[in-house]
Amino acid sequence: MKTPMTKEKMVQVLEEIAFLLEIKGENFFKVRAFQNAARILEGHPSDAGTLIETGELEKLKGIGKGTIAEIVHDLYEKGKSKGYEELRKGFPASLFELFKIPGFGAKRIKAVYEKLAVQSVEGLESAAQNGRLAKLEGFGEKLQDRILANIRQMKKSEGRFLIDVATNQAGKLLAYLKKQKGIERIEIAGSLRRCKEIVKDIDILVSAKNPQAIHEAFIQYPETASVIAHGETKSSIALKSGMNCDLRTVSLREFPCALYYFTGSKEHNVAVRTIAKKKGIKINEYGLFKGKRLIPCASEAEIFERVGLHYIPPEVRENTGEIEWAAENNFPDLIEEKNIRGVFHVHSTYSDGVASLEEMIRSAQEKGYEYVGISDHSQSAKYAGGLEEKRLYRQWKEIDQLQKRFKIRIFKGIESDILRDGSLDYPEPILSQFDFVIGSVHSRFNLPEAEMTERLCRAMENKYTTFLGHLTGRLLLSREGYALNMERVIQAAKQTGAAIELNAQPQRLELDWRFCQTAKREGVGISIHPDAHAVSHMNYVTYGIGIARKGWLEKENVTNTMNLNAMEKFLKKRK
């Protein structure tokens, strides 16, 4: 059976229903039901078809056998929902664009829609620019300025996609192309192969016995929205998701050079071509040439060798020092996902996760990890169901019971809010009972740089702070990070022995790869955490590994490559 709608699109529909119900002023619990259903469906590892066909959908807590399940069935079986379409008819299509503005939720949209007749981003921007927004009850000039800044940020982000979105889209397209006859070699190239955290488009390189047939199949890909170009060696399409994809076909002999050429950043390629030119070698997508003579290369490693460089891994081809290093040294043995022995920063339904403790722990064990660190939100994070003392003890009791059933070591932790003065979110008698603490900022993002820097440094001076979480609070394509003296924070981590988190959640991906080398040079431990709120989020570690490699990190630079015995000693030492 062919699914007319992807799970991602279904999640979007459920979120839009919640949004529209809130604008209409519907019952809070009805709105929350659709919001929770969207999160549950998104976080479940199975696709919608499997859930429906096995009857598991109705068994999911938060979906059940009612209206929400009926809508999901309709979306899966018919590609549409009558209830959703009727609900959407009452609002202009442009209103949905307002939902994309960071920090501009349904209540504010409802206010500007009803009181200012704002129906689009352009209308909101105009209302803010002429001061009408500030006069609206509950807004004011500061919020008006912030909304204008967020609109600018949104426009700046148009046509750019997070790495997980690009990876998902590329994976599906690659799987489709691999089914075509005559494929000899096929690879992802471009910024996605370099593991850039933000991607503009997808580049696919193919060697095939019948290139024309591959180009025909490419433009007929079911997710194609429009064909931009269709040629003999290059074709381009726009996907329904909004991403553009380029397909290039080359001969099998040309493939290594083409893969190299279409992987590196422009700056990296120019720098390597300059080195090659001094040796009388010309590099392009068709090969290496000495005059008109082709220099055969069977791999990318041979290409680097021919121009006098050690092999440079794809992730680091950004012209940020890798070429100078490779001229003198073998490149560092970069970390691989198989080196990870356990994970921290795992949420459950005790706070804002969508899976139970048992489900998250089982997922970690099935991945072969030796340990997993549960870290739900602390009590100040009321918006995320933060754990007050009574519920905290209840969670610990359940963890103790689960530990008897699972082989994997379960560490009891918390993602503690770092308060404005740099203190952690529980008194010392409670903090002392955790196996580990992740200190994170979740509020007061607009503090001056000096005050925010001091806030984080003070948090790390607390002996109970094991890891400093998502360092700048940025949300890629959505929210800029707060002002921070990064070098000072790294120095504070060095002095206190706290590790810095590399948050692998695709919207965060920080410690930014540009500062990984600084932390590495200072001997600061970095820990790759999935920040998992669902079972499927455990896979985020893959994106963290990409960023770590991009930042030249090796196995010994990452704390959670330690085996269980070493990790237990590390956690005790921090206390």
What pLDDT digit, counting tens, does each position of 377-416 carry? 999 998 889 999 999 999 999 999 999 999 999 999 999 9
Ranges 67-81, 295-309, 422-436, 523-537: which has the least confidence: 67-81
Question: What SS3 string covers 507-527?
Answer: CCCECCHHHHHHHHHCCCCEE
| pLDDT, average across residues 530-548 | 96
Q: What is the spatial distance between Cα 467 and Cα 345, in angstroms, rounded to a whole number? A: 10
Mean pLDDT computed over 95-99: 83
Cross-strand bridge partners of residue 502:
528
Lowest mean pLDDT among 395-404, 447-456, 476-485, 521-530: 476-485
* CATH 3.30.210.10, the chain: domain bounds: 267-328
Residue 19 corresponds to which tokens in the numbers above? Answer: 């949004």
The CATH homologous superfamily to which domain 267-328 belongs is DNA polymerase, thumb domain (3.30.210.10)
What are φ and ψ of residue 221, in 5° steps? -55, 130
What is the CATH superfamily name and number for domain 161-252? Answer: Beta Polymerase, domain 2 (3.30.460.10)
Q: What is the DSSP letter of 387?
A: B
Q: Would you state the pLDDT for residue 4?
A: 59
Average pLDDT (85-108) is 82
Average pLDDT over residues 188-192: 98
CA dist., res. 450 & res. 462, Å (int): 19
The percent of residues above 90 in pLDDT, for the chain, comes to 71
Tell me, letter by letter, the H, E, C secondary structure of 230-250. Answer: ECCCEEEEEECCCCEEEEEEE
CA 85 to chain centre: 31
- Specify the pLDDT at position 479: 85
Between 53-57, 102-106, 549-553, the lowest mean confidence (pLDDT) is in 102-106
Mean pLDDT (whole number) for 60-71: 86
**Average pLDDT value for residue range 78-106:** 83
Structure confidence at residue 478 as a pLDDT band (50, 70, 90) = confident
Residues of the chain with CATH 3.30.460.10: 161-252
Mutual angle of helices 67-78 and 82-89, in 10-degree steps: 100
Of 247 and 15, more confident: 247
Model confidence at 247: pLDDT above 60: yes
pLDDT over 80 at 427, yes or no = yes
How confident is the model at residue 319, as a pLDDT? 97
Q: What is the 3-state secondary structure (H, E, C) of 435-473?
A: CEEEEECCCCCCCCHHHHHHHHHHHHHCCCCCEECCCCC
What band does 349 get if pLDDT is binned at 50, 70 and 90?
very high
Residue 1 predicted with pLDDT over 50: no
Lowest mean pLDDT among 1-5, 208-212, 244-248, 494-498: 1-5
Q: Which residues pair with 33 in a beta bridge?
A: none
CATH 3.40.50.300 for domain 7-157, yes or no, is no
> Residue 271 — pLDDT band, cuts 50, 70, 90?
very high
Of residues 267 and 95, the one with the higher pLDDT is 267
Measuring CA to CA, which residue among 536, 543, 544, 473 is closest to residue 45? 536
Q: What's the average model confidence in pLDDT over 74-80? A: 85
pLDDT for res 2:
47
Q: How confident is the model at residue 110 (pLDDT cuts 50, 70, 90)?
A: confident
More confident call, 131 vs 342? 342
What is the rounded average pLDDT of the residues 176-183? 96
CA-angle at 472, arms to 332 and 15, nearest 5°: 110
Average pLDDT of the chain, as a whole number: 93
Query: For domain 337-574, which architecture applies?
Result: Alpha-Beta Barrel (3.20)
Residues of CATH 1.10.150.110 domain(s) within the chain? 7-157
Instruction: Please tell me the predicted confidence (pLDDT) of residue 56.
Output: 85
pLDDT for position 429: 95
